[in-house]
Chains A and B, each alone.
Chain A
Amino acid sequence: MTQSPDTPAESGKPQEAADAFLAGSSLRHAPGPYFGAFGGRWMPESLIAALDELEDTFEKAKADPEFIAQVAELNKNYSGRPSLLTEAKRFSQHAGGARIFLKREDLNHTGSHKINNVLGQALLAQRMGKTRIIAETGAGQHGVASATAAALLGMECVVYMGAEDTRRQALNVARMELLGATVVPVTAGSQTLKDAINEALRDWVANVHNTHYLLGTAAGAHPFPALVRYFHEVIGEEARAQILDQTGRLPDAVCACIGGGSNAIGIFHGFLDDRNVALYGFEAGGDGVDTGRHAATITLGRPGVLHGARSYLMQDEDGQTIESHSISAGLDYPGVGPEHSYLADIGRATYEPVTDTEAMDAFRLLCRTEGIIPAIESSHALAGALRVGKRLTEGKDNPQDVIIVVNLSGRGDKDVATAAEWFGLLPQESPEAGIGSEGEQL
């Protein structure tokens, strides 16, 4: 079979897709709805028309120079792109001597990669004539980014947040409200991120005529996984050019953390067809994958459908979703984007768990060695990079020849209370000590 390198392996049949990959066809720009056996649209009929409209608007926008210019302009003059690529020289000493470079999404406006997707989708919403956006949020990062875009573009914004999370993250609730958004605490189910998504979907069904659901990660029903990836592809494109510029060659490995998978797919995309660049996704291992308290979806889950896509899923024998656990609210999700399930199945990317403890050790190490306070989500990628660095440099005479790029997806300002609690930095009885108990964030 001769296929041009730009033809994505888009077959719905897993074997065919895997064969196409092995035969060397491009993995970039996979359009969905299927990524091998994953993806699709497992959604109520009521929402299919809205998904079709979104897909249609997105396809037209991608081909419209005006839209592309609009996104580029906002990325540059609002978010502050391109984000830097910073070599972490002192941190690298703890990775067997491999050279580690940080893709600084933490420097974006609002403090994480989330803004890339939010601005793009808000512009699409405007193109569809929708005046109201709704979003789900766990850590509050995506909610804050959505509220920001809504303020910028003059749209109404409602953010659904698990009641448990609104209590844990009172300051992020205040942030969203300062930006003019309405935050709705969700008391259904486990009162966390997955229930916030359920509630946002219920809102969307009822208000789809004027409302866009601004999903915060590369998961959900088609076209969301491909669409969210599209707006984050800029991370990988910049990183690839920057590492070539700074080192003259491609890295040996790229590391990212996996919640739903948006920051990871964004940076992976730039390197998907560079077969010698190993791609690593680090899932939240929580207390440890053998404790049952984790969010290691690909590591331990099995295929199922949740929130519109077939993908790996943490589920019990009855197909009921299992609640996830992680110190990092942004990784605390029992599902994962379908493209990651596909990349895992065909062996293009490797997914490993990182425990709370490993992540927090890496968090502190980056603070102390580089003067950068990372998000706890991103700290999972940092811990993974230390592991990969040691592995790749083992027995090597010139460990500095090993180059690793880590997606530093966000900054840790929001995590200071959690970290202070974790490291015992708070005086007893201080008000922050109350806020900072496990998983709570400022």
Chain B
Amino acid sequence: MNNTATASKSAAAIDRALAEGRTALVGYLPAGYPDVQTTIDAAVALAENGTDVIEIGIPYSDPVMDGSVIQAATVQALKDGFRVSQVFDIVAGITARCDAAVLVMTYWNPVMRMGVDEFSRRLAEAGGAGLITPDLIPDEAAEWFEASDKYGLDRVFLVAPSSSPARMAMTVKASRGFVYAVSIMGVTGARENVSSAAERVVQAAHEAGAERVCVGLGVSNAEHVREIGAYAEGAIVGTALVAELGHSGVEALGKLAARLSEGTARA
């Protein structure tokens, strides 16, 4: 991973956790759910309870990688009038109050619509660490390479159990900050068990040269986090947090993060 030239905020956050003997905890929240201020408060609550990297998802009309819980939250945010540019207010609001690395997770069309350069500039100005791009593969990312280099942003691409060795190598090389290992063939959603495919994907990413690999999809409790910590640098939790925030609010969310972080101690 070519993260030597540019200081990567998410790599730094993960390294900090590892240096403290912890697996990095990465938490996802949809922007504007239930509203902009609550998203900021919720993210800060995550950071104060052991979350190292925050992902803020931009609600999008056609979220093909998301399961029903995250879909319901983002549909609600859009119904309530969420606008894409508010994501920069959210990122700025979070980075002003804590030092977790804040990435934006987004389907690509909203970025293209704003202009890749403009979007990147505003994200960098807001203190954002970079982008996670579920439907952008490196093959199509020429503009994003240019803008992310220009503004010093992390490029977090996804690798999957189906990735061929050649694609794994190419994607690891294209990534900066960390590589997002999709644990199963499927969409977001809490699951009983973390798939055994996850370990193989992480191993392949490491062999391709990835220094930091975080595992997402289906991760929902401290036991999952502990399991993942045995072979990966970070664990990504999404649906479980979104459901908790929706049902029980910010305080309960903080408590869930604290419980999840109990799984981060590395053997």
A contact residues vs B (CB 8 Å cutoff): 40-50, 52, 188-189, 194-195, 198, 201-202, 205-209, 303-307, 313, 315, 317-321
Contact = CB atoms under 8 A, between A and B. Distances in A.
A208 B140 contact: no
A40 B182 CA distance: 22
Interface string B173-217: 000000000100111000000000000000000000000000000
A198 B186 contact: no
B185 A208 contact: yes
Contacts, number: 111
B83 interface: yes
A304 B187 contact: no
Given A306-B109, A315-B109, A206 B137 contact: no
A40 B83 CA distance: 27
B187 A206 contact: yes
A317 B82 CA distance: 12
B159 A45 contact: yes
B182 A45 contact: yes
The 7 tightest CB contacts between A and B, nearest first, are A319-B113, A319-B110, A49-B162, A46-B160, A319-B109, A320-B61, A318-B84
Given A41-B137, A307-B62, A205 B187 contact: yes
Nearest to A206: B186
Interface in B121-149: 134-137, 139-140
Interface of B: 60-65, 67-68, 71, 75, 78, 83-84, 108-114, 134-137, 139-140, 157-164, 167, 171, 182, 185-187
Given A188-B71, A194-B62, A201-B64, A45 B109 contact: no
Given A44-B135, A46-B182, A48-B163, A319 B62 contact: no
7 contacts: A45-B182, A46-B161, A48-B163, A202-B64, A207-B185, A303-B112, A319-B112
A319 B158 contact: no
Given A45-B157, A306-B62, A315-B109, 17 more contacts: A45-B137, A45-B158, A45-B159, A45-B160, A45-B182, A48-B162, A48-B163, A194-B62, A198-B62, A198-B63, A198-B64, A201-B64, A202-B64, A205-B186, A318-B84, A318-B113, A320-B60
Given A194-B62, A208-B185, A45 B167 contact: yes
A317 B84 CA distance: 9
Contacts of B182: 45-46
A319 B64 contact: no
A306 B65 CA distance: 13
A46 B66 CA distance: 13
A43 B135 contact: yes
Contact of A318 (B64, B71, B83, B185): B83
Nearest to A202: B187
B161 to A, nearest CB: 8
A44 B65 contact: yes
Contacts of A47: 162
B64 A50 contact: no
Contacts of A321: 61-62, 109
Given A49-B164, A188-B71, A43 B158 contact: no
Contacts of B187: 202, 205-206
A208 B114 contact: no
Nearest to B163: A45
Contacts of A46: 158, 160-162, 182, 185
A22 B61 CA distance: 38
A41 B137 CA distance: 8
Contact of B140 (A42, A188, A209, A318): A42
B163 A189 contact: no
